Amino acid sequence: MNMPDPQAMASAWMSQISDPNQWQSWFRMMPDMEAMPGAALLRDAGAAIRPDVLDTLKNEYIAEFGALWQEFLAGRAPKLKDRRFAAEAWTGNPVSAFNAASYLLNAKFLIAMADAVEATPHQKTRIRFAVQQLVDAMSPANFLATNPEAQQKLIESRGESLTKGLANMLEDMRKGHISLSDEKAFEVGRNLATTEGQVVYENALFQLIQYKPVTAKVKARPLLMVPPCINKFYILDLQPENSLVRYGVEQGNTVFMVSWRNPDTSLANISWDDYVSDGVIEAIRVTREITGQEQLNTLGFCVGGTLLASALAVLAARGEKPAAAVTLLTTFLDFTDTGVLSVFVDETQVSLREKALARGGLMSGRDLASTFSSLRPNDLVWNYVQSNYLKGNEPPPFDLLYWNSDSTNLPGPMFCWYLRNTYLENSLKEPGKLTVAGEKVDLSTIDAPVFVYSSREDHIVPWQSAYASTRILNPGRPERNRFVLGASGHIAGVINAPSKNKRSYWTNDTPGVAADEWLAGATEHPGSWWPQWASFLEQHAGEDVDARGDYGNEHYRPIEPAPGRYVKEKAE
């Protein structure tokens, strides 16, 4: 029997993928790709690579494929460094191992071709994103016919795994999202968001929760937390052992929390100004009235930090300085580098959103969740397709992933304003360029010490972008700004309780230096960054006073126990 020529096979494949017509045919086979950022550019990518670069890629591919083929003929299973193919079912079977290794080799050179396309940096980012989505989707691990782990379980279970997998898939289709966690294991108010407190104020946009002190003495100045309105607040109050809210209370703070309402059609016309005025500024006003304090410690997480900074700048323009200190967790103020999210933002896409939503409507929480999942498809999509559907497994309980699936809508006008003025035009950092709630916004007028936290592997807010806030706030007084860099990503880096003794963080007390210089001179510390933050809060929290045993005051009576009903509302 004549064996196929590996060089001829490799040459044929490389000729195929470098043919512009082949790119077009792939798109015809995968119509969903048409809506993907970078799709229009990707269709013509094969024609936008210099011939000499393409020849180099072809020769490298042919050489590597030939070596892989020789290993296969010799009966040696190739080494697979990708964790998707780490199981014995892959590595112990030469055919499956060769299949996986071939896929990885093909993926490597598809990505290399995307990087070789001659285009602007933003266009190249979008092309690479589209190629990566295609590459991840075509993994042999994602299909029963090419996944030996799933096939093995099918045989061992006598078909039961396939039956369960189909049931899991149908249930997820009913729910409208892939199950990342055992959703029956959690209930908000029962074993999530359980820190004791009362809702002491509400309007159409948010509820204000006041938490019960657990220490005999508390700091005079309260702590107001502003979570992201794109997610639910209980990411800061998951379970007792990893709750930032509970930790803040245990450190002797009287903690207040903004719980944003999950918008329905009655809030379809709410704007960014409304979130600032009727949301953050109103929460500040009520917290001050309840506690009798002129100033308070404030914390904003992600877009909650952007809203908080906007509100404090509006109040500064009115001659008010309610913040004794400001904490910003993984927050954008400077949107120069928005990381991989930039692939979803350009004039065309923003204009389309504005035409659809700027005059009213809802940005679906389901669509927002899908967008964020696409940033890490192997971790948040394909991993669960393989486990839940191909193998028939039930996802284990995981509080953070349960929260991740509990999506929220956004009012269209608010969402469109946010996209254009921050992600697209980066106007918020420019003093006086934007008018919010009737005031010219100048972030440099916020007169308060600032604690800025970011996560080193954050793919949503690159740490250098979060660090840029230290150049915008307190200009001329960099010693008032403290920056701490934690390990891990956007959420896991933030929710890192000291009791877990996990991960690490970096500090550098040299003020005003560039981001790379800051990191080069930083010191790494084991464990959680939370005690650093607690020390910062204590410096600005005022004197110790007796803890109060009641909630609210004569004007603001308790409405219902925490976590309140707003956080339990599901996205339509």
Q: Which residues are catalytic?
A: 302
The C-alpha atoms of residue 123 and residue 76 are separated, in whole angstroms, by: 41
Backbone φ and ψ for 330, nearest 5 degrees, come out as 40, 60
Tell me the angle at which helices 51-73 and 6-17 cross, rounded to the nearest 10 degrees.
Answer: 140
The C-alpha atoms of residue 14 and residue 17 are separated, in whole angstroms, by: 5
Specify which residues 301 forms β-bridges with.
329
Strands 481-486 and 450-455: parallel
What count of other Cβ atoms lies within 10 Å of the Cβ of residue 460?
19
Largest CA distance in the chain: 92
**Of residues 399, 170, 437, the one with CA closest to residue 313:** 437
Structure tokens that stand for 159 in this block: 């078909």
**Of residues 393, 382, 389, the one with CA closest to residue 138:** 382
Structure tokens that stand for 238 in this block: 């998951």
**Do 362 and 416 form a contact (C-beta atoms < 8 A)?**
no
Burial 413-440 (b: 16+ CB within 10 A, else e): bbbbbbbbbbbbebebbeeeebebbebe
Residue type, 325: A
Structure tokens that stand for 482 in this block: 């403290």
- Scanning the structure block, which residue is given the tokens 């956080």? 567
Q: Please enumerate, as own/partner, the contacts of 115-123 that have beta carbons within 8 Å and a separation of 24 or more.
A: 116/49, 116/50, 116/53, 116/54, 116/57, 117/41, 117/45, 117/48, 117/49, 118/48, 118/49, 118/50, 119/41, 119/48, 122/342, 122/346, 123/38, 123/41
**Of residues 342, 356, 365, the one with CA closest to residue 413:** 356
Specify which residues 484 forms β-bridges with.
453, 507
DSSP 209-232: EEEPP-SSEEESS-EEEE--TTS-
558 cis-preceded (ω within 30 degrees of 0) = no
- Scanning the structure block, which residue is given the tokens 């799933």? 150
